[in-house]
Structure 1
């Protein structure tokens, strides 16, 4: 496999990122996007606003992973300061996606290794993530990387 390039996303990446985010039934149902809204230049205005907010926040990084010049993966990294763990900063990893035609090729593992390295470089003392309970394959994947299901997460949709 060619070398993967990791970089901060730019505005031109939004359609490809949205397509990856919607490329499974769990996410597509949650996003309530129509098939025509999933790709191309006419991405829903809410996605553009979300991108602008993440891009402007110094504690957030929307990452694109390229292979041969094409976006093949994405994830959002959020750095959270806190008092627990003696004032340690933690990294939250969200919205990890690999393009469906390349899943199982080791890209996700390389993405997670890269993210953990970024956390260490920044001095974070903890990396955390959440994953939908229906994503049992993702649970096995994260466990294989050393993540432990140590907490029960809860959400309230507004």
Structure 2
């Protein structure tokens, strides 16, 4: 498996993973509209963001996540990483791909000098919570969101 930065060509596969996490959606059926294209361009050109894909080796995207590096004054100015939009294709779960994806992302953050990796997960994703805990992530905070 290859972990690499997503390209514009990967966008339909990434959208397919994010749109329906319980089914396998054929990326060829995914419409990449202007909003998705604009969002991808913003992530792709921002040095503090990486959209990463797990590639089977033939260009087939089996998983994805977004890794954002956050500078701050908290923790004595140490940089932290935020992991979001973690997905593994539904028909390939349970075989270690998610573990591989997250482990490599954490190593990228460590290699960049980050001293903390954080992520959030929707409350309904209880299996994902067990998975994150198995990787050493601890529930330490309650998160809050305000739709604008």
TM-score when scaled to structure 1?
0.87
SS at match of 2:128: helix
SS at match of 2:62: strand
Contact 1:90 1:125 in 2 (8 A): yes
Match of 2:72 in 1: 82
- Counterpart Cα distance in 2 of 1:48 and 1:68: 24
- Whether 2:116 is the aligned partner of 1:126: answer yes
Match of 2:54 in 1: 65
Per-residue CA deviation, residues 74-126 of structure 1 (Å, 9 max, x unaligned), is 10000000001110000000000001110111000001110111111111010
SS at match of 2:85: strand
Structure 1 unaligned regions, length at least 5: 26-34
Contact 1:60 1:79 in 2 (8 A): yes
SS at match of 1:141: helix
Structure 2 unaligned regions, length at least 5: none
Please point out which of 90, 95, 100 is paired with 1:105.
95
**Gap change, CA 1:89 and 1:49, over 3 Å in 2:** same
- Counterpart Cα distance in 2 of 1:95 and 1:82: 22
Alpha carbon RMSD of aligned pairs, Å?
1.7
Q: How many residues align?
A: 145
TM-score when scaled to structure 2?
0.93
- Counterpart Cα distance in 2 of 1:10 and 1:113: 21
- Counterpart Cα distance in 1 of 2:29 and 2:41: 18
Deviation above 2 Å: which 4+ runs of structure 1? Answer: 38-42
Contact 2:21 2:87 in 1 (8 A): no
